[in-house]
Amino acid sequence: MTPPPEIAEMLHRAMGFDAAALSESAVGRAVRKRMSQCGQRDPSSYLVYLRASPLELAQLVEELVVPETWFFRDGKPFEALQRFVMEEWLAANPERPLRLLSVPCSSGEEPYSAVMALLDAGLPPERISVDGVDISNVALAKARRAVYGRNSFRGAYPGLQERYFTATPHGWLLHEAVRKRVNFSQGNLLGDDFSLLRGAYDVIFCRNLLIYFDDQNRERALSVLERLLLPRGVLFVGHAESAPVLEKWFVSVASPHAFAYCKKSALPAQGKAQPSRARGEGRREMPRQPEKPAARLRPPVAVVSKEPPAGNALEQAQRLADQGRLAEAAVQCEAFLREQGASAQAYYLLGLVHDAGADAENAREFFGKAVYLEPNHYEALVQLALLAERQGEVRTAAQLRQRAQRAQQRRGNK
Ligand SMILES: C[S@@+](CC[C@H](N)C(=O)[O-])C[C@H]1O[C@@H](n2cnc3c(N)ncnc32)[C@H](O)[C@@H]1O
């Protein structure tokens, strides 16, 4: 059964996802599941029902969201957050609470990680105010419950559970002191009402969502975030989300592997002397890690672990990359390639590592190798499309996106 095309259009309007990300097979599976759950047999009558019921549309959206997340995902952004707040923000705002938005927050690991990072840095709890927003009510229910299993701790920072969680028969329950700092609500970043009744934020985390949007919706989302970010605030995006449209309103902050941006409008006018010029045209400099951290700063949670993670070299590489330990991830990938020979996944990871290090040329080469070995490697195709887009190669980017879409359909049909 092929779902009526109007359903994909409705989903595109509701979630903003790109056609390549919202493949027909995924939509088909989700529609079939929902139709059987509501006892509908005919796709056309389901479409009528869907049009009449916002609740049913929300249920269908639930079938398509990707709630993948974990504590201290990518590591470095949380270290950069600690430095920004303790070394820059605190001096300018000696009294009021820090306002941080995490959208999408999924099941809560990201906003809770931000709270733990700030507590670890020494910010008093009453000065931390975090909003977590997501389109998925299922993910939000999990976030409010704050009981987590092994997958949420895949960053494997020793001591995190012991310091902030209590073991229960159902998983690890996050301490109330952290839970209390986050206020969760349902919201659609592309909804007309998203910024209504929200104040402005000092810090916004918007990671691993923009990548799924098409250009138009990415631009729309970023313009909303620009309005919501205070002039001296910082925006964190995911490692694969630096699109040309981002640079319309934001400037990359010189903080390696944190994928942090500040507002263009807040930069001193061209020509005026500014300290950050030394490291990059128009870039604001994130406070660097002090040689000797101030006594009140405990080591950030995200850098506690120096032990090698378990598993084979490729799994280790993936884990290290997830923690933002990119140089170590590259070493593991190379070891894997030496021992096991060519591997699409190892090349893909090396591509991510080089892309994160702003080395587009090598990133492209490694993603290309991954696709050469595995022509339907969806993620590598998407990354190649993004790189082509960033370099202004519009036609190549469109072709790669089409290839990625076909690859995902093939994957869905298996
Ligand atoms: C991959 S998770 C990212 C979570 C977290 N930011 C991270 O990086 O680990 C993507 C989340 O985006 C949410 N989402 C999808 N479309 C959205 C939209 N238009 N507005 C808000 N949230 C959305 C999904 O429900 C899902 O929980």
pLDDT at residue 305 greater than cutoff 50: no
Domain boundaries, the chain: 5-64, 76-285, 308-413
Is any atom of ligand 1 closer than 6 Å to the C-beta of 322? no
Q: Is 371 in the pocket of ligand 1 (CB under 6 A)?
A: no
Using the atom order of ligand 1, give the atom closest to the CA of residue 136: 25
Smallest CA separation from ligand 1 atom 18, residue: 188
pLDDT, average across residues 394-400: 81
* Closest CA relative to residue 76, chosen from 328, 307, 294: 328
Q: What is the pLDDT of residues 248-266, one digit of tens each?
A: 899 988 777 788 999 988 7
Ranges 57-61, 312-316, 375-379, 410-414, most confident: 57-61
More confident residue, 414 or 372: 372
pLDDT of residue 381: 87
> What local confidence, expressed as pLDDT, does residue 397 receive?
81
* Structure confidence at residue 296 as a pLDDT band (50, 70, 90): very low
Give me the CATH topology for the region 308-413: 1.25.40
Q: Cβ(73) to ligand 1 under 6 A?
A: yes
Q: What's the CA gap between 349 and 377, in Å, rounded?
A: 12
- Predicted confidence at residue 307, as pLDDT, reads 35
Mean pLDDT for 35-42 is 91
Encode the chain in three state secondary structure: CCCCHHHHHHHHHHHCECCCCCCHHHHHHHHHHHHHHCCCCCHHHHHHHHHHCHHHHHHHHHHHCCCCCCCCCCCHHHHHHHHHHHHHHHHHCCCCCEEEEECCCCCCHHHHHHHHHHHHHCCCHHHEEEEEEECCHHHHHHHHHCEECHHHHCCCCCCHHHHHEEEECCEEEECHHHHCCEEEEECCCCCCCCCCCCCCEEEEEECCCHHHECHHHHHHHHHHHHHHEEEEEEEEECCCCCCCCHHHHEEEEECCCCCEEEEHHHCCCCCCCCHHHHCCCCCEECCCCCCCCCCCCCCCHHHCCCCCCCCCHHHHHHHHHHCCCHHHHHHHHHHHHHHHCCCHHHHHHHHHHHHHCCCHHHHHHHHHHHHHHCCCCHHHHHHHHHHHHHCCCHHHHHHHHHHHHHHHHHHHHC
Percent of the residues in the chain that have a pLDDT greater than 70, as a whole number = 85
What's the gap in Å between 303 CA and the centre of ligand 1?
25
Read off the pLDDT of each residue in 63-68 and give the average, rounded to a whole number.
85
Q: What is the mean pLDDT of residues 308-330?
A: 71
Q: What is the pLDDT of residue 5?
A: 83
Q: Is the pLDDT of residue 43 over 80?
A: yes
Compute, in angstroms, the gap from residue 134 CA to the centroid of ligand 1: 6
- Read off the pLDDT of residues 92-102 as tens digits, 9 standing for 90 and up: 999 999 999 99
Mean of pLDDT values over 275-283 = 42
pLDDT at 292: 33
Amino acid 367: pLDDT: 87
Atom 24 of ligand 1, residue of closest alpha carbon: 65
CATH topology of domain 76-285: Rossmann fold (3.40.50)
Return mean pLDDT, the chain. 82
362 compared with 306, residue with greater pLDDT: 362
- Rounded to the nearest angstrom, the distance between the alpha carbon of 78 and the centre of ligand 1 is 18
Q: Of 200-214, 234-248, 358-372, which one has max mean pLDDT?
A: 200-214
